[in-house]
Amino acid sequence: MKKLIIYVLLALVISCSGTGQKSVISPYQYYGQYLQFLKAKDYDAAIDMLSAYNQKRFQSRNTQESFEEFFPFFSSVDSVVVKEFAHYQEVGKAKACLTVSGFNLAGEPASLNFELLNERSGWKFNYVHMAYHDSKNEFPKAAVCPEIL
């Protein structure tokens, strides 16, 4: 009887702990979702995945530039690494860094280094740096946090 009460209490605690919370996905999973939006040309959804700072910049632009014109790097990440070789992520409470290495459409080695911010209990892309390499031997062996210039 004592075991039954313990199991019931444990089940109650587990079921209550998950209610009302937004599920948090990894930066790499978030990147995968972002790629799907780019491939589908769903740029409104892609913009929603950017940090509040970047969204505000885009919404307050003074020209009629499209997403691709305003964010040439964010809008082209799906063509920089088309065949993935490796990925690494470093996750903190407020910020995460994600590095994805692989080969572009021409078969040349390249890496994407992202900074993501935790905004409203979810990841948002804040910055991306693209690196092109002479060989795959130059691929990073850990997540690289890009330096914002």
Q: pLDDT for 26-62, tens place per residue?
A: 999 999 999 999 999 999 999 999 999 999 999 998 8
Q: What is the pLDDT of residues 112-145, one digit of tens each?
A: 999 999 998 899 999 999 999 999 999 999 999 9
Calculate what percentage of the chain has a pLDDT beyond 70: 85
Mean of pLDDT over the chain: 86
Whether 60 maps to a domain, the answer reads yes
Minimal CA–CA distance to 52: which of 124, 149, 128, 116? 124
Instruction: Residue 94: give its domain's CATH number.
Output: 3.10.450
Whether 50 maps to a domain, the answer reads yes
| C-alpha span between 93 and 46 (Å, rounded) | 23
Whether 95 maps to a domain, the answer reads yes
